[in-house]
Chain A
Amino acid sequence: MAVEFPPEVKREFDELVAKYEQTRAALLPVLHLAQREFGYISPEVEEYVAGLMELPPTKVHEVVTFYTLYHKTQPGKHVIRLCKTLSCHLLGAHTIKDHLCRKIGLENGHGTTPDGRFTLELVECLGACEFAPMMQVDERYYGPLTPEKIDEIIDGLTDEPVVENVDEG
């Protein structure tokens, strides 16, 4: 696969870069754009972005590896981020995790399921303690979670990513 933005994404890239005084300053949003476009950021994508932005590839690799929100390998169709910080922990995130792993078929507790459908990341506080225990699926928050609620959410997922919207259920 030749790594290249299709014309409409290239336009988005140009607009992003135009917002900043220095091209380099647009690196984070450009990488998000690249991640949306290519699914994850491989060294090839880094080199492509570096070329577009006239940066040494090492500088792009430094940024990509610094931030956990950039995927370095192909993630599952849905990325689940389960909070492991205090409020969620006290309200049983651990049981939720075990149940979730069984439900999606993940053996070692994190990473991507063998069928490539789910990636589970255990993350620090997502700033939604009022929903504890909570998780984020793609761009949407869910909570408070119970095993039943987990089953319902997982069974209700299609192959399309979930869009941003807080479920206050």
Chain B
Amino acid sequence: MPTLTIDGIEVTVPDKTNLIEAAKMVGAEIPHYCYHPGLSVAGNCRMCLVEIEKAPKLAIGCFTPCQEGMVVHTSTEKVLQARKDVLEFLLINHPLDCPVCDQAGECWLQIYYMKHGQYESRMMEDKIKKHKKATAIGPTVTLDQERCILCARCVRFCDEISKTSELGIFNRGNHAELDVFPGKELNNKYSGNVVDICPVGALTDRDFRFQCRVWYLDTQDSICPGCSRGCNIQVHYNLDRPHHAEGRRVLRLKPRFNPEVNKYWICDEGRYGYKFIDDESRILMPQVMRNGGMEFVSWDEALKASAEKIKASIPEELGVLASPQLTNEELYLIRKLFVEELGATQVEFRVPPKEEGYSDDYLVKADKNPNTKGAEEIGLAVGSAEEILKAAAEKKLSALVIFVHNLVNSGLDDSLVKAALEGVETLIFIGSNFSDTSEKANVILPSATYAEKSGTFANSEGRVQRIHEAVPPLGESLPEWQILNELARALGLDWDYQGTEHIFAELAKDVPAFANLTYEILGDQGQTLGYVPPAEEEALVEHGELEAVRAT
């Protein structure tokens, strides 16, 4: 644990901390391009030069480990001049692309140039022309070689994280170019991450390119619902520019750092899996079967119709298929309403997938649901989906409530599904998008997607993490927890849940695994099930001290 002085502030840092990280701790920013905390250190861009007392020349902050007694200056005149010079070099062959460059607004050449730019250009030579401009180098990424500053972050990502080594820097000197091997593609399960770490506009996302200027984007923290890993993400959206991106509101997902879950990365399946949020298949209004056809109705009518059907069923005739796509708060209300209040016994959340999902030894999990663990803890695995469907097929159920699932394309036997969906008298579907299953329903209640509501998911390791509403529910759709609250009221119960935090507090009291957890404790990085708070007496001591301090 060396102690050193940075810009006059003394700081003690863990062993092997480099100067860039140490400077962050005292609030000083050392500009850098090639350094990325999730990758090995390359030391090639020279942007991070700092002055160290008693050292003969400037040193790079990324590759210099902190040492006892070091005295470091991050913004002396010499350092500032060095940054200017490095930037001048980096820009020698850089095109004047900002107006047409997708990176503009989040480009580290632009950002650092504002502060450390030369401004008066001294370059008279012709620029070296590179080969690939706006060229797709794989299914997800577009390459623009003349914008590349050869920091090799993307190369190291493919060597060290995806372990696919598709990228290299070819030729040399000012002819050096970032590229794929001749005739090959950048194509791996994590390829989109190279766009995030490219500090400039050399690698851009084919999916997001030209959809929206980045300064029009708002962001909201969330959790990827793509699998049970529960990668931390940011939802980037725009509500004011319906003329962009065919009116889509959610425009891209970005990884959000969580050392316990996904570090700096997400997989491509998760990254590009957001399209259903603004898809044409969204269900926008409640619908009820009337005179042989589905009719749009108001929420009141739809809830009333649902409540009537549910009331008419005795507990044994009521089937419920909850979903591990739902939040803990919603699953808890499902249990409370259907199991505890109505006494249903045919309740389950697991529906086997058609085929085993892709998984690897890094992030991606085979279970494509974000909240299987939560559903298990809350206790919704009572029967089995197959048994429930058998009962429906044999006309032993009078009402079946299906949340989210599309049974038609699942691992369940096709003929059983068909017989069940047709055999049950009342099929209530609660979900966000139309499917072959919603087709068969006589009541459809439109629900919000994960980007349109708040709540929590528990990942496969039992880490409970929060999602937040980024965009409002589309059309008349509502979060499931709200639908359940309203349905309970329509059934004559005096439920009045005001928000998900309210539900979570009750859940934490009721379900042992969730004990002691609160939204505050979950924070933005989550907390594991079975959480034990700091020992009570410790808290008391602290409390006592606090009181003592207050008294003086």
Contacts and interface: CB of A to CB of B under 8 A. Distances in A.
Interface string B145-188: 00000000000000100000111111110000000111110000
Nearest to A58: B168
B170 A65 contact: yes
Given A43-B181, A43-B182, A43-B183, A58 B165 contact: yes
Interface string A52-90: 000011110110011000000000000000000000000
A70 B394 CA distance: 75
B172 A65 contact: yes
A49 to B, nearest CB: 13
B170 A56 contact: no
Interface string B489-518: 000000000000000000000000000000
A61 B170 contact: yes
Contacts of B159: 56
A58 B171 contact: no
A47 to B, nearest CB: 8
A62 B169 contact: yes
B165 A62 contact: no
B159, B166, B170 interface centre (most CB from chain A within 10 Å): B170
Nearest to A67: B172
Chain B facing A: main interface SS: loop
Contacts of A59: 165, 168
B173 to A, nearest CB: 9
A65 B171 CA distance: 5
B168 A62 contact: yes
Contacts of B168: 56, 58-59, 61-62
A56 B166 CA distance: 8
A162 to B, nearest CB: 28
Contacts of B165: 56, 58-59
Contacts of B180: 58
Contact of B167 (A46, A47, A58): A58
Given A58-B165, A58-B166, A66 B181 contact: no
B169, B170, B180, B181 interface centre (most CB from chain A within 10 Å): B181
B172 A61 contact: no
Nearest to B155: A58
B237 to A, nearest CB: 36
A62 B166 CA distance: 12
Interface string B462-502: 00000000000000000000000000000000000000000
A43 B169 CA distance: 15
B107 to A, nearest CB: 26
B181 A58 contact: yes
A6 B172 CA distance: 32
A57 B171 contact: no
Nearest to B169: A62
A47 B172 CA distance: 20
Given A43-B181, A43-B183, A58-B181, A66 B172 contact: yes
A167 B159 CA distance: 48
B167 to A, nearest CB: 6
A46 B180 CA distance: 13
Interface in A15-68: 43, 46-47, 56-59, 61-62, 65-66
Contacts of B170: 61-62, 65-66
A12 to B, nearest CB: 26
Contacts of A57: 181, 184
Contacts of B166: 58
A46 B168 CA distance: 13
Contacts of A46: 181
Contacts of A56: 159, 165, 168
Interface in B41-73: none
Contacts of B167: 58
Nearest to A55: B165
Contacts of A58: 165-168, 180-181
A70 to B, nearest CB: 12
B171 A66 contact: yes
Nearest to A64: B170
A58 B172 CA distance: 14
Contacts of A66: 170-172
A143 B181 CA distance: 40
B44 to A, nearest CB: 14
Interface string A117-156: 0000000000000000000000000000000000000000
A45 B171 CA distance: 17
Contacts of A43: 181-183
A56 B44 CA distance: 22
A46, A59, A65 interface centre (most CB from chain B within 10 Å): A65
A59 B166 CA distance: 9
A66 B150 CA distance: 14
A161 to B, nearest CB: 27
B145 to A, nearest CB: 13
Contacts of A65: 170-172
B165, B169, B172, B182 interface centre (most CB from chain A within 10 Å): B182
A135 B192 CA distance: 50
A66 B173 CA distance: 9
Contacts of B184: 57
B178 to A, nearest CB: 11
Nearest to A68: B172
Contacts of B183: 43
A58 B182 CA distance: 9
Interface string B180-207: 1111100000000000000000000000
A86 to B, nearest CB: 20
Contacts of A61: 168, 170, 181-182
B377 to A, nearest CB: 44
A56 B184 CA distance: 12
A56 B186 CA distance: 13
A23 to B, nearest CB: 16
Nearest to B165: A56
Contacts of B172: 65-66
Given A58-B165, A66-B170, 7 more contacts: A43-B181, A46-B181, A57-B184, A58-B167, A59-B168, A61-B168, A61-B182
Closest 7 CB pairs of A and B: A56-B165, A58-B168, A65-B170, A43-B182, A62-B168, A66-B172, A65-B171
24 contacts: A43-B181, A43-B182, A43-B183, A47-B181, A56-B159, A56-B165, A57-B181, A58-B165, A58-B166, A58-B167, A58-B168, A58-B180, A58-B181, A59-B168, A61-B181, A61-B182, A62-B168, A62-B169, A62-B170, A65-B170, A65-B171, A65-B172, A66-B170, A66-B172
